[in-house]
């Protein structure tokens, strides 16, 4: 995925002029039990998301029209699994049981994937590009308010696995070959947008530690990140989605 496609508006501010928790390392920040609980939740959600992404990409590879396409998705699935391993190992390193940390998020993630199961190869590509990018934007926004050690890990596991550019190339080529599929894929992408945003909102709303962190209610965590800022965050995510739709050649 290109820099423009993968960037979140908050990326530019990460690491600059930090205050509160964002200016601390893990050893210092984790002295707050509530902050520690929020990080365990965040890493658990990310870890299960990466594990599910691995499973989904491996499954989507069965829809691939060529062996080259199948191999490309297999490579991406391998990268997702490596991300999962890093998150799992980090949870263990901070004395959190990885399975227990992931468990609260399993049903929500599984429900999302069940409700948005692609019917063909192109829908699978659009889902990976649109759905995964929305989730990445959300977690990048959250990462700007984390301690420096946790932030570095989260940002690194959100690195693109190559699916962005691959999806854009294949989808644009398909629309050029058959313009009629553009309308169907645009509707599909809009549905994914709604489902992905709902999933992100549920992750925050259902976990007290995460929601408290995002509204700046724990020992000055995320200072200034109030409810209005949460709304602005989702507005930025929506704008980034519109840009990705344009990259695919689809109407937002």
Please compute the mean of the pLDDT values over residues 49-66 and round it to a whole number: 92
Q: What is the share, in percent, of the chain residues with pLDDT greater than 90?
A: 53
On whether the CB atoms of residues 134 and 196 are closer than 8 A, the answer is: yes
Q: What is the pLDDT of residue 1?
A: 36
Q: What is the pLDDT of residue 192?
A: 92
- For residue 227, is pLDDT > 90? no
On whether the CB atoms of residues 49 and 102 are closer than 8 A, the answer is: no
Token digits of residue 187:
């509707």
Please compute the mean of the pLDDT values over residues 30-39 and round it to a whole number: 92
- Give the sign of the dihedral formed by CA 204, CA 158, CA 113, CA 37: negative
Long-range Cβ contact pairs of 182-186 (< 8 A, separation 24 or more): 182/249, 182/250, 182/251, 185/122, 185/123, 185/126, 185/248, 185/250, 186/245, 186/250, 186/251, 186/252
pLDDT band for 19, please (50, 70, 90 cuts): low
H-type alpha helices, the chain:
3-6, 26-29, 33-60, 67-93, 98-115, 121-126, 132-143, 148-157, 163-177, 181-205, 208-214, 227-248
Q: Give dist(CA 160, CA 113) in Å, integer.
A: 20
As a whole number, the mean pLDDT across the chain is 85
Please compute the mean of the pLDDT values over residues 39-63 and round it to a whole number: 93
pLDDT band for 229, please (50, 70, 90 cuts): confident
Q: What is the pLDDT of residue 191?
A: 93
Q: CA separation (Å) from 125 to 10, 39, 170, 197, 213?
A: 26, 31, 8, 18, 33
Q: What is the share, in percent, of the chain residues with pLDDT greater than 70?
A: 87
Q: Which of 159, 157, 164, 121 lies closest to 48, judged by CA?
A: 157
- For residue 39, is pLDDT > 60? yes
- Give the sign of the dihedral formed by CA 161, CA 122, CA 182, CA 171: positive
Q: What is the pLDDT of residue 7?
A: 45
Token digits of residue 45:
């959600």
Q: What is the pLDDT of residue 12?
A: 44
Q: What is the pLDDT of residue 18?
A: 66
Q: What is the pLDDT of residue 20?
A: 80
Q: What is the pLDDT of residue 215?
A: 65
pLDDT in tens, 109-161: 999 999 999 999 999 999 988 888 888 888 888 888 899 999 999 999 998 77
- Give the sign of the dihedral formed by CA 8, CA 9, CA 12, CA 18: negative
């Amino acid at each position: 995925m290109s820099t423009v496609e993968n960037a979140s508006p908050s990326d530019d501010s990460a690491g600059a002029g930090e205050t509160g928790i964002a200016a601390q390392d893990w050893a210092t920040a984790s002295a707050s039990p509530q902050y520690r609980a929020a990080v365990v939740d965040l890493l658990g959600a990310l870890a299960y998301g990466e594990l599910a992404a691995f499973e989904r990409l491996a499954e989507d590879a069965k829809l691939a029209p060529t062996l080259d396409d199948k191999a490309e998705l297999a490579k991406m699935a391998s990268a997702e699994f490596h991300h999962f391993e890093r998150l799992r190992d980090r949870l263990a390193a901070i004395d959190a049981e990885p399975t227990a940390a992931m468990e609260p998020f399993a049903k929500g993630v599984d429900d999302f994937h069940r409700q948005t199961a692609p019917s063909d190869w192109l829908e699978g590509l659009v889902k990976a590009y649109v759905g995964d990018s929305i989730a990445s934007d959300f977690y990048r926004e959250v990462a700007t308010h984390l301690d420096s050690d946790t932030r570095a890990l989260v940002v690194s596991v959100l690195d693109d696995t190559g699916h962005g550019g691959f999806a854009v190339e294949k989808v644009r080529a398909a629309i050029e070959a058959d313009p009629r599929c553009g309308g169907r894929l645009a509707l599909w992408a809009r549905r994914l947008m709604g489902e992905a945003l709902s999933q992100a909102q549920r992750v925050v709303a259902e976990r007290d530690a995460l929601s408290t962190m995002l509204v700046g209610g724990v020992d000055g965590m995320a200072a200034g990140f109030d409810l209005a800022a949460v709304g602005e965050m989702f507005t930025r995510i929506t704008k980034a989605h519109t840009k990705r739709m344009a990259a695919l050649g689809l109407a937002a």
